[in-house]
Structure 1
Amino acid sequence: MTPPTFPPPRRRRRRGAASAAVLALTLAASLAACSSEDTPSADTATAGGPVTLEFWTWSLKGSDPEAKAIVDKYHQEHPNVTVKLSEVGGTADTSSKLLAADKAGDTPDVVQVEYRGLPALVVSGAVKEITADVASVKGNVDPNIWALTTFNDQVYGVPQDIGPMMLTYRKDLFDKYGVKVPTTWAEYAEAAEKIREKNPDAYIASFAAREFEFFAAQAAQAGAQWWSNDGKAWKVGIDSEASLKTADYWEDLVKRDLVKVEPLLTPEWNAKVNKGEILSWAAAAWAPSVLYSVAPDTAGKWESAPLPQWTPGDPAVPFMGGSTYLVPAKSKHPKEAAAFAAWLGASDEGSKLLLSLDLFPGGNAGRQATLSHEPPQLMPQQKDFYTITDQVIKNTTIPVTWGPNVNVAQTAFGDALNKAALDRTSFREVYKATQQAVVADLEKAGYTVAK
């Protein structure tokens, strides 16, 4: 699912340091200094003695036998290391708790955070740079996946899972209504119109205005960059013309009542999915497992296909969702923590084991294992699901840069877009207002912002 909002904890920093903290694929060289500033050297004086690593995670629940099996496997291979699982509630809770723990000087050793939550933590200095620690497994993960955690050639996290974007749809009802699976967003609009003609109670999809990462991904697919940094200044492109064209597209579908304005995963939405009144979900490869959890009786009626294209013939999409294992700057056992993170997310053994958690592994071995894995329970008949997904990953070449104030953007964006959708008012104005709010916040925080 789209990651929850993380709160806006941000330490006041000198203007020069703040403006140099570049969180793009081409970060300024000063980022490492910025992230490690005032961080004491790690205590690794265990000298091979017993070590207990506290691991904040929501994917590995201590009560789940699959998670226990993974941790037990690591214990068998590393008898001097004990991994203690502490469940947390997602990026919002984790980020705020980690920043508080960092301030108190008492952090866990390994933390799971969604990719878009990482930049703010790097800027805060709460995250350790682990490039050397993961060098031995660097070749086990493709570059476009390492890019999610790599800033200025420095690694700050080990990828756990990824979200290659796809369209999951009710194949039986598409067939019944004579609707072709759309390969472009123009075809998607045509399909939406035909579905409404065939069944006045049905929609191709919901329009969930608060799904911030989806709209960011849409803009990226259309050629926009909501945040970018050249090493000297931030540039915000939420109101760029490429971005606004996607706003126009969705406004048109909403005004023509071709998508249902409502949030996802509510009891009402779940009921519509079960009744065959919501026929698709444009999200990522994790969507089938979510749909199965709310509509298990519809299993066998769904399939997944590549995401529709904004530019015909251009299959490139960004990743949507997924998370990383990071080592807090004040971890008491950073070497052992980085070794565990590298094993779990990037080793052949660890990345294959992640499949048991119903995740799509970021590691190459886990990805390769999916090709012989059974399809998701939602579509047991679609034997080529993982083959299609793997091709989507190879086409996932659009890097998305998250700025240090994603929380501000999401707050400004979600409620306003939902109101505009319900009131049938301008989506462009929402995007423009969000742009202004993000720029104002960056400037207030002392960042240099390019006009």
Structure 2
Amino acid sequence: MSHFRSSALATATAASLCLVLAACSGSTGTGGDTAASPSTKGKATLEFWSWTEGVEAQVKVWNKEHPETQVKFVNAAGDTVYQKLRAAVNAGTAPCLSKMDGMNLANFAADGLLTDITKVAAPYKGKYTPAAWNAVSPGGTTFGIPMGSSPLFTAYRADLFQKYGIEAPKTWDDVIAAGKKAQKENKNVKIFNMAGEDPSTLVDLSWQAGAQWYKADGDRWVVDFTSPEALKAGDVVQQLVDDNLASSASYADPGVFKTWDLGKTIMMTTSTWQLPIYDTNFPKSKGKWQLADAPLFDTAQPRTSSSFDTTGVLKGCKYPDRAAEFAAWLSSSKESLTTLTDPASKSGLFPAVKDVSPYVDKIIPTEMFNGKSDSAEVITTAASRVGDQWQYGPNYAAMYSEMQKQWGKVMKGELKVKDMLASLQKWTVDDLNGKGINAVAGS
């Protein structure tokens, strides 16, 4: 994510936010257009880019029921969609709405490419979890509406856990202990997988431990990769590496599923969108899996992590109030969610709303699991435990790319996790300050 750009604004609130997001420049808006007016009149057509299966059909439902606000759906699937969106905003031809992950929404807000919809979005805030709303409100200003979430929980080979005399881990310390015990029974088995190209394990564990890598604080960003919580997460990763407890199957390898299907790796943290994938790709181990809550750092304060899909409102949108209304209907109305969360829609969507209970049962591939735990309860619990302290900072995407470069060395034992975290903290602070954004190290 590149830097937040914004201009000097008239109100004190906007001016204060401007200081948080960037050294103010001459562009319009706070990380984008100024706060949207509460309502627009007359008929309107909104262009909407998305690449989620099933969404186009829901757009047609919306259009039948809302003749005053018509939505034009554009299938924007492709690896270059974000580049195309940037070009469209700069050319003045951007859609009103687009699907975005949380990281890219913050990125676009940073570059002044979104519309501040804080006022018009306020009526919908209560429908979603606090963590989901954080994902559309980098720095405290709202630029979109949550679409879907991916809360993490555990899937494990119950048959092999029983064989090796271990139980589903309740904490990350339990994961380490279970991995060691399993290897005493079978030296070739691994408890977990950490791909050399994918540092998401460290992100998830840091989130779960209560770390805040980025925090908006008054007129500055506090960057803290070396807090006690972050180092606690890093220590778990380090133990997995040092004790050779984790496999290193690459997610770019088409055969990656074999490490779990053949029992070479016996546990994973997973999420709702992945369940249909396992049902298809675990033919030998079908029916031998069981779900459990994600391992915890603090049993008194259970917390897990999630990624989020959002619907961003682009700079130049003439009807931000209508855009927010449609986006909220798409991702929170029972009418829309009942269809989109059905596996038949192939959307892979799991809601970001507060009450997910109506949408859980049908996403569970029952033949995949042994029926000895309440899978629906595990998933519902995970959705309620996503830590709401996590924020995507102004250069998160660029930081993540830097972390990927160093992560491979960590997996090879050439770099300690704590040293990587210290390096990333300095890199992130220097990068932000170099872009005119006030940032300080937190630890």
TM-score normalised by the chain length of structure 2: 0.85
Q: Is the 8 Å Cα contact of residues 42 and 331 (structure 1) preserved in structure 2?
A: no
**4+ aligned runs moved over 4 Å, structure 1:** 8-19, 37-45, 151-154
1:146 maps to a residue whose letter is: W
Kindly indicate whether residue 57 of structure 2 is the aligned counterpart of residue 69 of structure 1: yes
Query: Structure 1 residues 284, 445: CA separation in 2 closer, same or farther (over 3 Å shift)?
Result: same
Find the aligned partners of 2:331 and 2:398 in 1 and give their Cα distance.
30
Deviations along 1:297-333, one digit per CA (max 9) or x if unpaired, are: 533222221111112433122x321201121122354
Q: Which residue of 2 aligns with 1:34?
A: 30
Q: Which residue of 2 aligns with 1:355?
A: 341
Kindly indicate whether residue 319 of structure 2 is the aligned counterpart of residue 326 of structure 1: no
Find the aligned partners of 1:13 and 1:351 in 2 and give their Cα distance.
35
1:370 maps to a residue whose letter is: Y
Q: Please state how far the C-alpha of 1:56 moved relative to its aligned partner.
A: 1.9
Q: What SS class does the counterpart of residue 55 from structure 1 fall into?
A: strand
Find the aligned partners of 2:56 and 2:119 in 1 and give their Cα distance.
29
1:71 maps to a residue whose letter is: V
Deviations along 1:95-149, one digit per CA (max 9) or x if unpaired, are: 3332222111110121111112222222222112234434454443344432332
Q: Is the 8 Å Cα contact of residues 292 and 373 (structure 2) preserved in structure 1?
A: no
Q: What SS class does the counterpart of residue 31 from structure 2 fall into?
A: helix
Find the aligned partners of 2:110 and 2:289 in 1 and give their Cα distance.
42
2:192 alignment partner, one of 205, 212, 220? 205
Q: Please state how far the C-alpha of 1:401 moved relative to its aligned partner.
A: 1.0
Q: Please state how far the C-alpha of 1:14 moved relative to its aligned partner.
A: 7.2
Deviations along 1:406-431, one digit per CA (max 9) or x if unpaired, are: 12211221121212321444222222
Q: What SS class does the counterpart of residue 169 from structure 1 fall into?
A: strand
Query: Structure 1 residues 165, 233: CA separation in 2 closer, same or farther (over 3 Å shift)?
Result: same
Q: Which residue of 2 aligns with 1:410?
A: 400
Find the aligned partners of 1:381 and 1:445 in 2 and give their Cα distance.
53
Q: Is the 8 Å Cα contact of residues 95 and 121 (structure 1) preserved in structure 2?
A: no
Find the aligned partners of 1:240 and 1:246 in 2 and give their Cα distance.
10
Q: Please state how far the C-alpha of 1:435 moved relative to its aligned partner.
A: 1.4
Q: Which residue of 2 aligns with 1:63?
A: none
Q: What SS class does the counterpart of residue 243 from structure 1 fall into?
A: helix
Q: What SS class does the counterpart of residue 341 from structure 2 fall into?
A: helix
Q: Which residue of 2 aligns with 1:434?
A: 424
Q: Is the 8 Å Cα contact of residues 395 and 432 (structure 2) preserved in structure 1?
A: yes
Kindly indicate whether residue 337 of structure 2 is the aligned counterpart of residue 342 of structure 1: no
Find the aligned partners of 1:352 and 1:397 in 2 and give their Cα distance.
26
Q: What SS class does the counterpart of residue 150 from structure 2 fall into?
A: strand
1:314 alignment partner, one of 276, 301, 312? 301
Q: Is the 8 Å Cα contact of residues 15 and 446 (structure 1) preserved in structure 2?
A: no
Deviations along 1:53-98, one digit per CA (max 9) or x if unpaired, are: 33222223xxxxx4443233223213462432323347xx443332
Deviations along 1:377-403, one digit per CA (max 9) or x if unpaired, are: 533846722222222222334421111
Query: Structure 1 residues 441, 274: CA separation in 2 closer, same or farther (over 3 Å shift)?
Result: same
2:48 alignment partner, one of 49, 55, 59? 55
2:393 maps to a residue whose letter is: G
- More off after superposition, 386-395 vs 437-446: 386-395
Q: What SS class does the counterpart of residue 83 from structure 1 fall into?
A: strand
Kindly indicate whether residue 150 of structure 2 is the aligned counterpart of residue 196 of structure 1: no
Q: Is the 8 Å Cα contact of residues 203 and 278 (structure 1) preserved in structure 2?
A: yes
Q: Please state how far the C-alpha of 1:187 moved relative to its aligned partner.
A: 0.7
Equivalence map 1:273-312=2 (5 Å): 273-312=260-299
Find the aligned partners of 1:224 and 1:132 in 2 and give their Cα distance.
30
Query: Structure 1 residues 245, 162: CA separation in 2 closer, same or farther (over 3 Å shift)?
Result: same
Name stretches of at least 5 consecutive residues in structure 1 with no aligned partner: 1-7, 61-65
Q: Is the 8 Å Cα contact of residues 42 and 330 (structure 1) preserved in structure 2?
A: no
Q: Is the 8 Å Cα contact of residues 206 and 264 (structure 1) preserved in structure 2?
A: no
Q: Please state how far the C-alpha of 1:364 moved relative to its aligned partner.
A: 4.3
Q: Which residue of 1 aligns with 2:411?
A: 421
2:266 maps to a residue whose letter is: L
Q: Which residue of 2 aligns with 1:114?
A: 101
Find the aligned partners of 1:307 and 1:296 in 2 and give their Cα distance.
24
TM-score normalised by the chain length of structure 1: 0.83
Q: Please state how far the C-alpha of 1:164 moved relative to its aligned partner.
A: 1.6
Find the aligned partners of 1:41 and 1:414 in 2 and give their Cα distance.
41
Q: Which residue of 2 aligns with 1:253?
A: 240
Query: Structure 1 residues 146, 41: CA separation in 2 closer, same or farther (over 3 Å shift)?
Result: closer
Equivalence map 1:16-31=2 (5 Å): 20=18, 22=20
Query: Structure 1 residues 244, 89: CA separation in 2 closer, same or farther (over 3 Å shift)?
Result: farther
Q: Is the 8 Å Cα contact of residues 354 and 361 (structure 1) preserved in structure 2?
A: no
Name stretches of at least 5 consecutive residues in structure 2 with no aligned partner: 10-14
Q: What SS class does the counterpart of residue 75 from structure 2 fall into?
A: strand
- More off after superposition, 77-86 vs 348-357: 77-86
**RMSD of Structure 2 on Structure 1 (CA):** 3.3
Q: Which residue of 2 aligns with 1:368?
A: 357
Find the aligned partners of 2:273 and 2:76 in 1 and give their Cα distance.
20
Q: Which residue of 1 aligns with 2:12?
A: none
Q: Is the 8 Å Cα contact of residues 42 and 333 (structure 1) preserved in structure 2?
A: no
Find the aligned partners of 2:243 and 2:335 in 1 and give their Cα distance.
50
Q: What SS class does the counterpart of residue 362 from structure 2 fall into?
A: coil
1:375 maps to a residue whose letter is: I
Q: What SS class does the counterpart of residue 302 from structure 2 fall into?
A: coil
Query: Structure 1 residues 41, 372: CA separation in 2 closer, same or farther (over 3 Å shift)?
Result: closer
- More off after superposition, 255-264 vs 185-194: 255-264
Q: Is the 8 Å Cα contact of residues 219 and 246 (structure 1) preserved in structure 2?
A: yes
Q: Which residue of 2 aligns with 1:182?
A: 169
Find the aligned partners of 1:290 and 1:398 in 2 and give their Cα distance.
28
Q: Is the 8 Å Cα contact of residues 220 and 398 (structure 1) preserved in structure 2?
A: no
- More off after superposition, 121-130 vs 100-109: 121-130
Kindly indicate whether residue 388 of structure 2 is the aligned counterpart of residue 392 of structure 1: no
Q: Please state how far the C-alpha of 1:290 moved relative to its aligned partner.
A: 3.6
